[in-house]
Amino acid sequence: MAVITGDITRIMNKRILDLAVPNIISNILVPLLGIVDMILMGHMGTDSYVGAVALGSLIFNFIYWGFGFLRMGTTGFTAQARGRRDLPETIHVLGRALLISVSAGIILILTRGPVEWLAFTLLDGEADVETLAASYFRIRIWAAPAALSQFALMGWFIGMQNARIPMVISIVVNLVNIGCNYFLVVVAGYDSDGVAAGTVVAQYTGLLLSLWFFRRYFSRLLKYVNREALIRLSSLNQFMSVNRDIFIRTMCLVLVFSFFTAQSASADRIAGGDETTLAVNSLLMQFFMFFSYLIDGFAYAAEAMTGRFIGAGSRRNLMRAIRLLFIWGAVISIVFTLIYLTAGEYIFRLLTSIPSVIENARPYFIWIILVPLISFTAFLWDGIFIGATAGKEMRNSMILATALVFFPAWLVLEQLMGNHGLWLAFILYMAARGVTMTLLARTAVYNKV
């Protein structure tokens, strides 16, 4: 029996890594494009182009972050359908997700005028930067249907237990984007508009490649397509209900990170001459992002495996998978904690060479050392809840952590500890997410099998 259990554990660990590693590679590529764009714009002779791409990218980050439910919801429903070997439902889940993503992309294009007005009303930039950013926005918005459709397709591939296809697509999209941006900016002589156009080309390339992979490996599923099942009202309502909850959860996440940045900037304005808080916090937050790129890969694995085992009705395998995922998460968090503890300042010096920023950051290194240990449970539970399509519970956990922990903690601690209070409020917020989802897991996850 021990030998059999050991074999199952090895097989499951291999499955976790097969799903996690490609997603980690995809995540690592995320900042690469931004770095290349900043390098290209940084050699244009004025910082207005850098600001334009940063401002324009921020708008699309908000839009696409809000539509992230298209990937997450699709993964959960697809994995569950595959787990119970309901092949017709797997293709219908993709059809519903693509219907919503294409429709949303077209609506964004048709309403680009009001969206642009709202975005630049909320964002306060210099006049020349806003002019360039507006031009960037008007070009890149045409990629919306392709970008959102890729969310649906990526989520579907992961739900079908295939993380390598999204990895290949991500690599190709980033390489095409970098190549197009270089050609349009350096060779053709375009400025920030060239970066926007390169992104449009890359997104449609990614969509075509995604459809090619579907045709190559999954076209046999098209025989199951049934129009009535595809647009069945009960199925659409269930799909939209879970995605609505994930959307609310994501907006709470955006609110916390936006508030964190706004308060960092506010501290600089209050301080007057000592304007380093925003730079310090922004750079220290990169340590959180470095950790998230790795742990998110295991969260994606959690989505796929949780959905599959719930769909298959296998409680034993579900429990085993969750236990192994948390072991992986704990090991990774300890490794990152040790790295940040021993090499935190060295890593920080790679991010900036400004002496005042380095000096003012030192007192806050304690928070980035704590981040991996405190936050890994929230990342993994997010993946598990998505796989279980437990949108309502995930939403409630996020609302509680945001409204009853983060903001009250900030109100009290900011008065007592200044910027340390902001970081402690963020740490408590991440801990609250992990604790509440742990408490909700019985009804949200385990009772579904």
| Integer CA distances (angstroms), 263 to 249, 255, 419, 427, 434, in order | 21, 12, 9, 16, 24
Write down the residue that tokens 């390098």 correspond to: 39
Phi, psi of 188 (to 5 degrees): -80, -15
Using an 8 Å Cβ cutoff, are 293 and 27 in contact?
A: yes
DSSP for 108-173, written as a single string = HHHTHHHHHHHHHHHS---HHHHHHHHHHHHHHGGGHHHHHHHHHHHHHHHHTT--HHHHHHHHHH
pLDDT tens figures, 199-216:
999 999 999 999 999 999
Q: Per 3-state DSSP, what percentage of the chain is helix, strand, and coil (rounded to 5)?
A: 90, 0, 10
- The per-residue pLDDT for range 63-76, each reduced to its tens digit, is 888 898 899 999 99
Residues 85 and 313: beta-carbon distance below 8 Å: no
Once rounded to an integer, what is the mean pLDDT over residues 39-60? 73
Q: What is the pLDDT of residues 15-31, one digit of tens each?
A: 999 999 999 988 887 76
Inform me whether the pLDDT recorded for 272 exceeds 60. no
Average pLDDT over residues 92-115: 95
The pLDDT of 108-135, averaged and rounded, is: 85
Indicate the DSSP class of residue 210. H
Residue 43's pLDDT is 65
Whether the per-residue pLDDT at 271 is higher than 60: the answer is no
pLDDT band at 354 (very low <50, low <70, confident <90, very high): confident
- Taking residues 408-432, report their average pLDDT: 94
DSSP string over 44-63? SSSTHHHHHHHHHHHHHHHH
